[in-house]
Amino acid sequence: MDKVYLNGLNFYGYHGAMKEENILGQTFIVDLILEVDLKEAGTNDDLEATVHYGHVYETVKAVVEGEPLKLIESVAERVSKKVLQAFPLIHQLTVKVIKPNPPIPGHYDSVAVEMTRGRESD
- Residue 71 CA from chain centroid, whole number: 14
Q: Determine which one of 19, 82, 96, 99 is catalytic.
A: 99
- Which residues lie below 8 Å from residue 11, measured CB to CB, with a gap of 6+? 27, 28, 29, 30, 60, 61, 64, 65
- Told to judge if 99 belongs to the known catalytic residues of this protein, a careful annotator would answer yes
DSSP assignment of 48-65: GGS--HHHHHHHHHHHHT
Residues marked active site are found at 99
